[in-house]
Amino acid sequence: MRGLLVTAGILPPRDENLALLTNRVARTVAELPPRHADLVRPFAAWHIIRDAHRRSSRGRYTYAAHKGDCGNVLAAISFLNWLDTQHLSLPQLQQRHLDTWAIDRPTLRSRFIPFLRWSTARRLCPPDLVIEHSAAQLPGHFQAEEKHRTQLLRCFHDTALPVEVRVVAALVRLYALPLTRIVELTDDHLRHDQGHTYLTVNRHPLVLPPKLARLIDEQLQHSPRHSDTAGCRYLLPGHSPGRPRTPLGLADTLRQHGLPVRAARNTAMMDALADLPPVVIADLFGIHPRTAERWATLAGGNWSDYVAARQAAPQAGSSARRIAVSQPI
């Protein structure tokens, strides 16, 4: 309903991802016992949500960021519940307790770190307690080169596929874009100039192949009018006015059409590292530099000379980047 009112100009637009976070936190905290709510509420309000507001003000609060922040709050709740089962409180917490909890919960340990730091800074638990990030695992799912190319060609030439499927699958296979970033794309990210079409990703313009540019134009032309919000239109509008499609639903749609995401994106990332150093990959695709370095290690690239040269040279002005496509499309 709110989306319809925003579209009609009755209500002002808002950051829907931020609203998802605040509403989810409010509902979750309301269901907690008072002793837990008294801890989780200020942690969520003054650490998680305040930081989310800062990122939102810079236009960088994505659906993935909202999911991660919700995960941080839920990890804190999980830990407090575990303390209850051990008949412990935060002031009684010792390193051995923390280690026991973390060993059995490898997927939660990294999400719990913000709450531990927040609690330590406010002297709610003993100092010097530490929890290590889970050991990062390198990706293991890839596509054979021929299969990757065949699927990319299918995106460009198979008119039986829905246009949105062709667009998304091509963006994944050409630029290794995650679905969480693709669903945030609007017509403001697209620019036509001197015969070329550019897609701006993380403030970097990418030169699109002409066929992909035409598909994106077609997708935007057929987007329902209710997707207009704040003067722009989502590339992939959802069912709710003013909201894009969800990454999970989009992944299911791609899978149903024989174009799964994970292995294709991993393969595209490896292809990109053949042409670009990890420092550029991190900046271009908005991933952490350490993540890009791990990818470079997997790819067997050695970019130390590039990094040294980049640090010594003056910064050049922004320019459009091209990621090589090895075969004609």
Q: 302 pLDDT exceeds 60?
A: no
- Domains of the chain (ranges, CATH numbers): 14-121 (no CATH), 145-312 (1.10.443)
Encoded tokens for 177: 């874009």
pLDDT at 99: 92
Q: 227 pLDDT exceeds 60?
A: no
Output b/e per residue, 8-43; b: 16+ Cβ within 10 A.
eeeeeeebbbbebbbebbeebbeebeeebbebbbeb
pLDDT at 104: 84
H-helix or E-strand containing 255?
Answer: helix 247-256
Q: Where are the beta strands (DSSP E) in the chain?
A: 190-193, 196-201, 204-207, 228-229, 232-233
pLDDT (tens digit, 9 = 90+) per residue, 211-222?
Answer: 999 999 999 988
Q: 118 pLDDT exceeds 90?
A: yes
The long-range contacts involving 245-248, CB below 8 angstroms and separated by at least 24 positions, are 245/183, 246/63, 246/183, 247/63, 247/64, 247/178, 247/179, 247/180, 247/182, 247/183
Closest CA to 248 of 106, 23, 66: 66
CA 62 – CA 183 distance, rounded (Å): 9
Q: Which residue has the higher pLDDT, 146 or 6?
A: 146
* Range with the poorest average pLDDT among 29-38, 71-80, 231-240: 231-240
pLDDT (tens digit, 9 = 90+) per residue, 237-263?
Answer: 987 777 888 898 999 999 999 999 999
pLDDT (tens digit, 9 = 90+) per residue, 91-106?
Answer: 999 999 999 998 888 8
DSSP summary character for residue 187: G
Q: Whole-number mean pLDDT of the chain?
A: 84
pLDDT cut 70: percent of the chain above it: 82
Residue 95 burial (CB count, 10 A): 12
pLDDT at 259: 96
C-beta separation of 80 from 39 below 8 A:
yes
Give Cβ neighbours of residue 147 (< 8 Å, ≥ 6 apart).
Answer: none
β-sheet bridge partners, residue 205: 200
